[in-house]
Copies of this chain bind each other. A is one copy, B any other.
Amino acid sequence: MKHVLIIAHGSRRMASNNEVREVTRQFALQSHDFDQVSCAFLELDEPSIPQGLLNAIEAGATEIIVLPYFLSAGRHVSEDIPAQIAPVQDAHPQVDIKTAPYLGAASAIPHILLSQTKGV
């Protein structure tokens, strides 16, 4: 069972976290390669990254793709997220947990920015 876990930073502003939930919902609607899609937060909202992974595993995930909803390859992407994944992977070696490139690395980003200028 393939699961995608979208990971965002999390904000004190609940509306920002709900934007992530809405992106996750849209992702699930557009995705046909995955059985389950959910989101988790590095901090400031629930579920945490470990809890999001455990929820996925309890729901039957055998393969989890972690998808960092971040714009740059900063410390959060390079260190904090892997550090939170590692203990869950160690405890569940039968589950294949992979991390996809973060959002900001997508080559389509400049094109999306361009499309935003049409919204002015």
Contact = CB atoms under 8 A, between A and B. Distances in A.
B11 A114 contact: no
A69 interface: yes
A20 B108 CA distance: 14
A16 B101 contact: no
B109 A115 contact: no
Contact of A100 (B16, B101, B117): B117
B117 A65 contact: yes
A106 interface: yes
Nearest to A2: B117
Interface string A74-90: 11000000000000000
A103 interface: yes
